[in-house]
Amino acid sequence: MPITQISKITHRKGLDENLPQLAGAELGWALDARKLYIGNGTITDGAPTVGNTEVLTQYSDILGIATSYTYKGTATGYEVISGPSASHPTTRSLQQKFDDFVSVRDFGAKGDGVTDDTTAINRALTELYTREVNHEIRRSLFFPAGTYKVTDTIKIPSYAKLYGEGAKSSTIKYYSPNNGATVASNVVKTTDSNNQSGVSTVTDIEISSMGFMSDENNDILYIDGVTNSSFVNMTIRGPKTAATILSTDVNACIKINGTALLVPENITFDNCVTSGTGTGMHIDIKCKGITLSNSKLSAHCKGVLLGQTPLNGGPTGVRITQNIFDDIMKQGIDIDTASMNISAFNTFYDVGNNFNGNGNPFTTIVDISNADNVSIGDMFTRPDADAVGNYARINLNELSSTAFDLSKKIMLGTYAREVGKVTTLTNGATANVFVVDLTNKHTDSNLGTFNMDYAIERNGTVRTGTLSVATDGGAPGTLTYNETYNENAVSGITFSVTQTGTDVSVNYTASNTGNNATLSYSLERLY
């Protein structure tokens, strides 16, 4: 290729709008636009077209200059055929390419923890999901890592898909307004296309890898009339700690609401962490198929509260499975006026102890007050010594509910069978075996009964039998008990039963034969 030697390069300067046709290789500098151009030269000289070519600088509009994009995928070892043939690839503009992905910062949000991003976030949600009914306007809205300060409710409409860079990396945090404005009752709230709640169904919301926080006592995530939605890998946190939670706190990290016509249905919460409010999840309205799984609830007065003030029959189909409950003042799960709900395979640590740990029982841990609910496979660190009377690990207050406290007993309505236990009866001693609170929770008479099925082995002597006890818990002197047994020789063991209020003690006396005895027993109870 021959090179034309240029003896002198000329240049011009002026306003961008006054730029003339430059001679070949002549430079032109647009002072106002800070753009640099070079003349193409003539077609006779070999230029493909007469005109000026912009030389790229930091002020160039790259998207305006580069007009097309073609996916090549050369990392695969060959060039991908994106169109009908290799010679006819699919091309798009760079603007179209970049519009496939939307960041909340494209709408003015800063995420610096200082700038109020309320308006910018709500603008993004409106423009992407509610401005037009055409579903092609919808894009996943990305929240880069940062703290997005808000001072009013963020309104999330149908079809919104929000995602961040981690539950503790991309955070929407509510700050109390400094202008004397009323504190918003919700940090994040689901709404229809007109930013209204309770008017029409809200559907198909997906939020993942984000955090919602508040420095005020308000409901953090308020879900109203929502169907077919999911919330995954999230942190939802209020302002309180275990040390500052009060028994009167009522705000929730997750509050689910609806109406008789707008029934919340098929909503999933998975791998979420809640803390710092009165309850972790609170549902009073009728619902169908709400799942809370693989999550951790801590620093609450109550973990999950269902049907405290029931509306339209109360919650149904709530599945609380495989979660961790810890640092909960009262019940981990409180099922009040609600039915067809299940607690399964959850683990309860410091729950129902008024934040004072084991040895200080304050309430039951799982409390079921209505028909047709189930607790199965739940596990507890509360020891037997704490799980008596009003402090049972699982408390059934309804005849047709079922609980399988697999660590201790199986309960079916008013019937319970405890697992077998083994203890030593000391030679020549009189002592207590166990104490049972026989308060009946289903009748006004407080009549309670139990059978102790047992086997005793003492130096080759074997005795098997049943000790049956009944009492009217509120009336002294009404205790009755009866024992039937068989033994192959005289064992020298006698049982006695005493009552103090609703507490019934089973005691033993072992004669002095020189040998201790081994007692294996299980309790069968009617509440």
d(CA 31, CA 45): 29
CATH, domain range 420-526: 2.60.40
Averaged pLDDT score across all residues of the chain: 88
Cα 306 versus chain centre, distance: 15
Share of the chain above pLDDT 90, in %: 59
Residue with tokens 């003339």: 20
pTM reported for the whole predicted model: 0.75
Cα 444 versus chain centre, distance: 39
Question: Any idea where the domains of the chain sit in the sequence?
Answer: 11-65, 420-526
What local confidence, expressed as pLDDT, does residue 445 receive? 42
pLDDT in tens, 156-198: 999 999 999 999 999 999 998 877 678 889 999 999 888 888 8
Lowest mean pLDDT among 127-141, 193-207, 241-255, 309-323: 127-141
Averaged pLDDT, 399-410: 65
d(CA 462, CA 21): 116
**In sequence order, what E strands does 195-245 have?**
202-203, 206-214, 219-224, 226-237
pLDDT in tens, 438-479: 665 544 344 578 899 999 999 999 999 999 988 765 555 578
Confidence of residue 273 (pLDDT cuts 50, 70, 90): very high
For residue 191, the SS3 value is coil
Lowest mean pLDDT among 95-99, 135-139, 370-374, 408-412: 408-412
Nearest alpha carbon to residue 109 among 100, 120, 124:
120
Nearest alpha carbon to residue 205 among 125, 122, 323, 86:
125
